[in-house]
Amino acid sequence: MKPYERKVYYYETDKMGIMHHSNYIRIFEESRVDFMEKAGMPFEKIEELGLMMPVLSVSCKFLYPLRFDEPFAVYPAVTKFTGVRLEVSYAVKSLVSGKICAEGSSSHCFTNTELKPVSVKKAFPDVYKIFAENINPETNIK
């Protein structure tokens, strides 16, 4: 699957001219939304079904700075999926230097709109199939 790509926006930078650390979590989410759309399960469809995917945890390791207007790619990968919980890894790569700038992960669960856990395998087999087909414990960086 193709990575999520864009440039660093000016408002995302700090006084040093590099992307502020808090924005990596945002681009993780952007890339996860993009990944789900490319996989055939856009967030709009999930929400229409009455499903929610709250974040349980998120982590990020900063390796090399991205600068204003620098193009980058994010390589998300579903590394674990149980039908109730989902884990996604992310690698952020500069398209200028080719360096990995950040690595991270997020974990999520599936709930209904009242935030009660839902087994998508039982309740939404089509949703389950999409995520199960996209499990990749390896990195997607090419």
Q: Return the CATH number at 65.
A: 3.10.129.10
Residues 6+ apart with CB under 8 A from 133: 39
pTM to 2 decimal places:
0.92
Task: Answer yes or no: is pLDDT of 142 > 70.
Answer: no
Residue 124 domain flag: yes
Tell me: the pLDDT tens digits for 35-44?
Answer: 999 999 999 9
Residue 142 domain flag: no
Residue 141 domain flag: no
Task: Answer yes or no: is pLDDT of 26 > 70.
Answer: yes
Tell me: the pLDDT tens digits for 50-109?
Answer: 999 999 999 999 999 999 999 999 999 999 999 999 999 999 999 999 999 999 999 999
Mean pLDDT for all residues in the chain: 94
Residue 80 domain flag: yes
Which candidate, 131, 132, 142, places its Cα nearest to that of 35? 131
Residue 140 domain flag: no
Task: Say what the pLDDT of residue 141 is.
Answer: 63
Q: Extract the tokens encoding 32.
A: 């996860």
Residues 6+ apart with CB under 8 A from 126: none
Residue 25 domain flag: yes
Quickly state the pLDDT bin for 139 (edges 50, 70, 90): low
User: 67 with 101: CB under 8 angstroms?
Assistant: no
Residue 18 domain flag: yes
Domain range for 98 = 4-133
